[in-house]
Structure 1
Amino acid sequence: MYYNSNNDSHSQEPWDRPIETTGRSLDNEYVPDEPGHSGKKKGRGGKTVALCLVCALVGGLVGGVGATAATGGLSGGTTTIYEGERAPTVVNVAQVNGKTLLTGPEIYASFVGSTVGITTEVVTTNSWGQPVSAAAAGSGFVITNDGYILTNYHVIDGAQSIKVAFVDGTTYDAVLVGGEEENDIAVLKIDATGLTPVIIGDSDNIKVGEQVVAIGNPLGELTYSMTQGIISAKDRSITMQNGEVMNMLQTDTAINSGNSGGPLFDMYGQVIGITSAKLSSSSSTSEATIEGLGFAIPINDIKDMVQDIIAHGYVTGKAYMGITVTTVPESDAQRYGMSQGALVKSVDESSCAAKAGLQKGDIITAIDGTTVLSSAELVEAKKEYKAGDTATLEVDRSGEKLTLTLTFDEDTPERRAAQEAAQEEEAQQEQQQSQQGSSDFFWPFGGLSPWFY
């Protein structure tokens, strides 16, 4: 449960109901001072900032399939995620109550034992068909006393093995409980009890100019380092290296390779963000020259997702269309006489998109009246919906303007894996057709990667 020492004076809100899991319970007693998010996400002001961002991860990882539940064989018991007051290592319990400001040394002494280093092994195939092993390193932090750990999805993406290390030298093999690629979070599980979890804070309450500290493993070698800075801005819509658009906290706290997945604390000793990326003048972390521009995922944006992942292995209720799309740039739209928007590369025949009448080659130009000029804009618009919601799509089909009504499916790991397999098979077929000099589908944007929806 999220724990708050003041919860006796508040009533339970709808999002605070217990979530039952097999062999364990996850009681949520966290009651925020102000109502949190409910239903569809509220729109965020300002324009999306397209920046060259590099994930703060040591080593190179390749794309993997969607994360799925993998908790078999681990110890059961009661899973509790705490928020509010707890007994720290150095600071008196009365001080860690969300109301007493702490010093940097106090925060470090209290929570360095809750921060972990994560190393992964990824096996890929080189151009000669030979298996090649690569390693990557990142950070994470303990969120329950029985071994659940939160980190970034890109830290464990494609990993064949995951190891977790604590500041006292103790190491564990970890399994992936589940992940959420679009929001760059993943939950790991180690077979351990009696751990000291962090305290989950309220990122909505943090103000620009307030001091924050990060603990992590920069470069994968300078383990358990703490850096300090301020919140530079909130609600930054940032285009990540993989093309995903995310809401971020901006900070001048030093974030470097290996910091990915680590905690960002306010000066009350509460985690208000997950350090994820930094601005770079290069796509390589080793050549990053711009300093003072780091980004963290607001903890409020992913609290409910973490509960879902622990309970089900994935985030439930997410909208799924069953298509792959890519952007039709304005220049190419003018050149080929096409509409600008999200061009459909493939359609899952069993999906809601197929039932609505979407076809390969259609260009989605709007959803419920909101203009869609790119794949990124479509994925952002889709985040406002849940499984079962209905939306109206405006589509250009070879110059004919159509209006289609779609009821979203639920995005499950099984659906995503099946679509990825189908897309890979289609890509192989297109490659064969290209080599044979024929194709049944005109595709002028060969270098652009499709997006799954």
Structure 2
Amino acid sequence: MKKIGLTLLTAFVGGAMALGVYKLAENKYADNMSFEDKQKVYFASNPSTSPTVSSAGQVDLTQAAAEVTPAVVYIRTTYSSKQSDSQDQFEQMFGEMFGQRMRPQGPQMASGSGVIISPDGYIVTNNHVVENAEKIDIVTNDHHQYEAKVIGTDPNTDLALIKIEATNLPIVKLGNSDAVRVGEWVLAVGNPFKLTSTVTAGIVSAKGRSIGIIGSEDQPNQNPFGPVNQKTPSLRTGIESFIQTDAAINPGNSGGALVNSNGELIGINAAIASHTGSYEGYGFAIPVNLAKKVLNDIKKYGKVKRGYVGISFADLSVPDAARSVNSDKTNGLYISGLMKGGGAEAAGLKEGDIITKVDGNTVYESSDLQERVARLQPGDKINLTVMRDGKEKDFNVTLKADSPEPRIAGSVSKSAAELFNKLGASFVPVNSDQKTKFHINGGLVVSQVRPGGIFDDTDIPVGSVITSINKQSINSIDDMDKAITNLRNGRLMITGFYPNGGRFTNIFDVR
């Protein structure tokens, strides 16, 4: 009997140890999984058995709404009075002239929406929803409140990845925006005018829309979720290939979900075209297939690894553009310049070539090329068909990178989220080359600096290495978490190296 008991005990202990080792390995593997892979695991464990078609054979949107709404969150952001000083001055000068209500002095607040895409707290929203925010509060559909930190942003696509410290959260299933068809039913889920968990329905009105709103330097401070002047050209490259919908969306829907009748996320609501700032029938969402690449890059590298064709071009679909370059074609992209050493030059493209297809798909306007390239990594190949001397010719172009990217670090606790956001930067671990260059054993590299934060104000640029905070060595995000939550006299002393090797010590008052 004793032998049997001993055998059972040994088997139990061995099984427990094996399970523990398995769980550790599983968690480590999960940290390196893409959001798509995480979702496959989640939905394999949580299959949906509810039909999306009613007995009458018509599309039933009630189930899609029920599945999506729990994973769409309300975002409330807080900004320092310093960041809104310039806006306050303009309001004081012109606000009453246009019947606008003056904002109170002191910290300002705004709101938007976000979509939970991973059970461990990763949320996608718009860059303009969280840009420059010192504090980001999240309210879930079941009224739980969290404080979020910014993992990273991509102004070129108006996307941001933020995170809350929570587990087992409901998520929205990532769909396939390439499969979206004009005329199909869609739902917009968000928090317009602070009306939380609002669902509206409509159809897809168009695809591949470019409205010149992302990165326009003539209106750099304009909230993209507002009136759009489609005649204003974009002077800075923004990647736009919006899904257009007539589902009612309004200010506050920014960062919310656009889903199909199966409850799958096909876009992130980002802008409206309006003369009044409110819904007039034209809403625009960022395609989820583009968002997948951006979000995975932010999580893995701290910023987006973007490949470049290496050309400047004129969009022949724009009125009078074809005439200005003496072309008889009214669609496609006229190559007006080549970047020296770029992928296009290396592949043999020339000025005057007209790009007619990308990977076999017809190029009607700039968004057809830009979105496709934006999904790829440096080193990936893309096939461009060009018209030259009246004949089409194919070229395989290898996309070039702007700079090598390190890997991203882990997460930061809720208690440090507000100060982390106030720093206005993203961080990744140092690599072996950087350790040798700066003669250090560890540290964090600044991978992104966001406008309006402490790092931006004090000119700590991308590529700088942070070695200590308040005289505590910094080798990981966890180290930074501990350092910035144990402040003395409200001061933060950051020591490190500039990219050129110069050493710095900066002291900030963060009270």
Normalised to the residue count of structure 2, the TM-score between the two structures is: 0.48
- Higher Cα radius of gyration: 2
The aligned counterpart of 1:319 is: 307
| Cα distance per residue 1:337-387 (max 9 Å; x no partner) | xxxx9999xx9xxx979xx9xxxxxxx9989999xxxx9999789759853
CA distance in 1, matches of 2:178, 2:131: 28
Report the count of equivalent residues.
320
The aligned counterpart of 1:135 is: 109
| Cα distance per residue 1:394-429 (max 9 Å; x no partner) | xxxxxxxxxxxx9976346999868999xx99xxxx
5 Å matches for 1:11-410? 24-26=31-33, 80=39, 87=46, 93-95=48-50, 103-122=60-79, 123-126=83-86, 133-219=107-193, 221-233=194-206, 235-242=207-214, 243=234, 244-280=238-274, 282=275, 287-288=276-277, 291-316=280-305, 318-319=306-307, 383=374, 387=378, 410=401
CA distance in 1, matches of 2:120, 2:286: 24
Amino acid at match of 2:114: G
Cα offset, 1:140, TM superposition:
0.8
Amino acid at match of 1:112: T
Cα offset, 1:193, TM superposition:
0.4
The structure carrying a bigger helix percent of its residues is: 2
Cα offset, 1:87, TM superposition:
4.2
CA distance in 2, matches of 1:215, 1:176: 22
Pair 1:295–1:418, CA change in 2 (3 A) = closer
CA distance in 1, matches of 2:29, 2:111: 31
* Conservation of the 8 A alpha-carbon contact between 1:232 and 1:251: yes
What is the identity percentage for the equivalent residue pairs of Structure 1 and Structure 2? 32
The aligned counterpart of 1:48 is: none
CA distance in 1, matches of 2:398, 2:375: 13
Task: Find the residue that maps to 1:26 and give its secondary structure.
Answer: coil
Task: Find the residue that maps to 2:296 and give its secondary structure.
Answer: helix
CA distance in 2, matches of 1:266, 1:216: 15
Pair 1:85–1:238, CA change in 2 (3 A) = farther
Pair 1:409–1:134, CA change in 2 (3 A) = farther
Cα offset, 1:145, TM superposition:
0.9
Amino acid at match of 1:229: G
Cα offset, 1:265, TM superposition:
1.4
CA distance in 2, matches of 1:264, 1:377: 21
Task: Find the residue that maps to 2:177 and give its secondary structure.
Answer: coil
| Cα distance per residue 1:170-200 (max 9 Å; x no partner) | 1111111122221222111110001111111
Cα offset, 1:109, TM superposition:
2.6
Amino acid at match of 1:319: G
| Cα distance per residue 1:22-43 (max 9 Å; x no partner) | 982315776xxxxxxxxxxxxx
Pair 1:342–1:182, CA change in 2 (3 A) = farther
Structural RMSD (CA): 5.4
Cα offset, 1:303, TM superposition:
1.8
Cα offset, 1:256, TM superposition:
0.3
Normalised to the residue count of structure 1, the TM-score between the two structures is: 0.54
Task: Find the residue that maps to 2:143 and give its secondary structure.
Answer: coil
The range that moved more, 379-388 or 163-172, is 379-388
* Conservation of the 8 A alpha-carbon contact between 2:249 and 2:279: no
Amino acid at match of 1:302: A
CA distance in 1, matches of 2:137, 2:304: 24
Q: Which has the higher relative contact order, 1 or 2, with Cα contacts under 8 A spaced 6 or more apart?
A: 1
Cα offset, 1:321, TM superposition:
10
* Conservation of the 8 A alpha-carbon contact between 1:85 and 1:96: no
Structure 2 residue ranges without an equivalent (≥5)? 1-26, 90-104, 215-233, 313-318, 321-333, 346-350, 358-365, 383-396, 407-446, 458-511
Amino acid at match of 2:163: K
CA distance in 2, matches of 1:203, 1:98: 21
Pair 1:194–1:410, CA change in 2 (3 A) = same
Amino acid at match of 1:151: T
Amino acid at match of 1:241: I
